[in-house]
Structure 1
Amino acid sequence: MTPGARISAAISLLDRIATGEPAERALTNWARANRYAGSKDRAAIRDHVFDALRCRGSFAALGGGDQGRALMLGMLRAQGLDPDALFTGEGYAPEPLSAAERAALTLPAPDDLAARDWPAWLRPILQTELGDDFVAISEAMRARAPVFLRVNLARGTRDQAQAALEAEAIATRPHPLAATALEVTQGARAVQRSQAYLTGLVEVQDAASQAAAALLPLAPGDRVLDYCAGGGGKALAMAAACPQAHITAHDADPGRMRDLPARAKRAGAKISQSPPGALGAGYDLVLVDAPCSGSGTWRRTPEAKWRLDRARLEALCELQSQILSQACDLVAQGGALAYMTCSILRAENEDQLARMVAKGWSIQQAQRFSPLSGGDGFFAAVLRRTQ
């Protein structure tokens, strides 16, 4: 495919996503219907689509509209590229620019481009909550997120993992957020085909998520419950950090854990699964990695930020409160309750802790992880009942 044809494909995909079709589904369906497109074509089109979703507000301002065509024009303008070289109308390239489009591209760029890449209703909330970091975090969230790996110390050291990956042309560097974290600097798309991954030496996991897991109080023999396990990333991290702990994974939707047995086998981890209603109680540690807005991960899932509204955020906060109330009853006397979100919003983090303190819990530690540190935005806290 020519560069112009890739732009055309991205335009059509962005218009489909704007109607409500999930981005991943749209990309998958497009690839199935256009099998002539090679892996490099698919990767380039995917990059165009996700760049436009991350920067939809600023690209719309630069390109003169929020339809797929205008967003691609805004992207080219942001990158300092000449749209006439790609919008030629030749072959499968987009049609040449109209007079109105040319006029829009000559308008001065707004001063607040980065801020425009947050939903308008959320912008003043973030300006208040992030304070002096608002501009820097806004800029960071417009860029593609790094790929991080967690080294499974039950399988080998970080140096051994780096060497194994290097042998398969995957370059990495240690990341300061966590002792187990490697940032992939070259060959990210080959990770899940590598022997280091297939043999359980490394697992894909964000560095901030790894750092949050490292805060958890784990001891040999502890009964540990990952209450909202999902795919099981935190359960796997805990099993690697403390193999002598007895870890149980649970999720309200057991289908989310369908890949966990295979992942645990690959990692050499012992993790039990408990269906709803069969949990028992008396756990030394209960981890609630709660459903949330995902605002700290919007570099990876940018369409989610444009679909979040006030009502959805309020519903999520209510759900988080309900889950925390349920989890409280599962903690043993003297045990710990851990709360985590991949959100940067106070309503989902500190405000939830304040409610727990009012119910008789004390905060042992709480930490925010900012995208400025390289990983995702993340929040983690450990609480105990006040005696």
Structure 2
Amino acid sequence: MTPAARVAAAIGVLDDCLGGMPVEKALLRWSRASRFAGSKDRAAVRDLVFGGWRRRRSAAHAGGAETGRGIMIGWLRQHDTDPAAIFTGLDHAPAPLTSEETQLSGEASPAIRHDLPDWLWERFSRDLGADADTSAQALRDRAPVFLRVNPRRGDTDAAMGALARDGVEAVAHDEVAGALRVVSGERAVSRSQAYSEGMVELQDAASQAAMLRLPLQDGQSVLDYCAGGGGKALALAARAEISVTAHDISAARMRDIPARAARAGVRIELAERLNGLKADLVLVDAPCSGSGTWRRDPDGKWRLTPERLADLVRLQAELLDQAARHVAPGGSLAYATCSVLAEENDAQVAAFLARCPGWVQRDRMQRLPGPNGDGFFLARFQRGDA
């Protein structure tokens, strides 16, 4: 496929997204209908679609219409490429620009410039203040790829060397011990020996930093109350000789944990029912808006509504209350989200402390999206007499 044909394909996928289809489903549908496309073509179209979808509002404004075509015209302009050179109508290229499409748009509103729905830009401005601009801007571009070095399988230098042999260049993170930032060869990570042998795991640096803050000692027990795929449970299990139990309301979400744990050289028990289980550390990695990670999942910011956010806040409160019952005497309760919104973070913490006066907040971490990782929030509690 030519570069212009790839843009034409991206336009079709983006139109499906604008019609309500999730971006991954739209890409899969295009891929299945385009057997002629090679792996490099599919990767290039995917990058174009995600690039345009992250910047849906600003690119559409720059391109003159909220259509797949308008988004691609605007996205090319934002990346200093003349769309007229791509939109030629030749060899599967998109049709030439109309006279209206050659005109540049006027000034955009702040919400459009930051590629957020109006109501979400208001929340960002209110909650993040001076950091709202840089945080929103970070979500408009592709996220860096970070890896966590598994100390059970090797150290940072060994991991970087093993990755390099398979064409993956990585450097040590400046702030987070054991974290690597992939500089080149991102798509080769999953095929690398370092990954297949459990020396490294894909995990954002902010999430790694949060797991390193949680106090752990050999012999303790940990309950990951909303385990999902088990990434945080794996990070904790690698740190000390501890007993780790993973629980999730959906057992299907945990199906990959046994294989991942075996690859990493750790043991994690799965528990569909807890039956009064108590643990020294209970982690609630709560379902949330994902507002700190929208550059990885741009569908999230376009599908979120105030009503859905309110539902998530209610669910987070319920999960905190439930998880607190499983903390052993003297233990800790940790609450985490990949959100930057106050109502899911500090307001949720304040509400928990107000209705559960026996608990005291012992730690807090908030990271905002940027070059060093995603947005992430962590709070840790203990009972007042602990």
Q: TM range, normalised to the smaller chain?
A: over 0.9
- Tell me how far apart the structure 2 counterparts of residues 29 and 228 of structure 1 sit (CA, whole Å): 31
1:307 aligns with 2:303: yes
The superposition leaves residues 142-187 of structure 1 with CA deviations (integer Å, 9 ceiling, x where unpaired) of: 1110000000001110111011111112100111232110000010
Answering whether residue 248 of structure 2 is matched by residue 251 of structure 1, we say yes
| TM-score, normalised with respect to structure 2 | 0.97
Give yes or no for contact 1:61–1:109 (8 Å, CA) kept in 2. Answer: no
Instruction: Provide, for residues 92-115 of structure 1, a one-character-per-residue CA deviation record: whole Å limited to 9, x for no partner.
Output: 111111222223xx2345374774
Aligned partner (choices 157, 160, 181) of residue 179 of structure 2: 181
- What is the CA deviation profile of residues 199-248 of structure 1, one whole-angstrom value per residue up to 9, with x for unaligned ones? 00000000000000001111111111000000000000001011x11000
- Pick the aligned partner of 1:239 from 237, 252, 268: 237
Query: Which stretch shows the higher mean deviation, 37-46 or 94-103?
Result: 94-103
- Per the alignment, residue 170 of structure 1 pairs with 168
* Residue matched to 1:267: 264
- Give the equivalent residue in structure 1 for 2:7: 7
1:62 match: secondary structure: helix
| CA deviation map 1:274-310 (0-9, x unaligned) | 01x3342221110000000000000100111010010
Which runs of 5 or more structure 2 residues have no equivalent in the other structure?
none
Give the alignment of 1:46-57 within 5 angstroms. 46-57=46-57
The 8 Å contact of residues 114 and 142 in structure 1, kept in 2 or not, is answered as no
Q: Greater shift after overlay, 52-61 or 318-327?
A: 52-61
Of residues 293, 314, 317 in structure 2, which corresponds to 1:297? 293
TM superposition shift of 1:39 = 1.2
Match of 1:354 among 345, 350, 353: 350
Q: Matched residue pairs, number? A: 383
Report if the CA contact (8 A) 2:57-2:115 is conserved: yes
TM-score (norm 1): 0.96
Q: Paired residue for 2:98? A: 98
- The offset of 1:372, in angstroms, is 3.2
Alpha-carbon distance in structure 1 between the residues aligned to 2:28 and 2:122: 36
The amino acid of 1:88's aligned partner reads T
Amino acid at match of 1:311: E
Q: 2-side partners of 1:370 and 1:78: how far apart?
A: 24
Instruction: Give distance in 2, aligned partners of 1:373 and 1:30.
Output: 31
Do residues 192 (structure 1) and 190 (structure 2) align?
A: yes
Q: CA RMSD in A?
A: 1.3
Give the letter for the 2:297 counterpart.
T
Kept in 2, the 8 Å contact 1:115–1:123? The answer is no
Letter in 2 for 1:256: R
User: Which deviates more, 324-333 or 111-120?
Assistant: 111-120
CA contact (8 A) 2:282 2:327 kept: yes
Are the counterparts in 2 of residues 62 and 109 from structure 1 also a CA contact under 8 Å? no
Give CA deviations for 1:349-369 in whole Å, capped at 9, x if unaligned.
001110121112111000101
- Secondary structure of 1:285's counterpart equals strand
Is the contact made by 1:177 and 1:208 (CA closer than 8 Å) also made in structure 2?
Answer: no
Contact 2:111 2:117 in 1 (8 A): no
1:111-190 aligned within 5 A: 112=110, 115-190=113-188
Aligned to 2:118, the other structure's residue is in SS state coil
Rounded to whole Å, the distance in 2 between the matches of 1:73 and 1:109 is 17
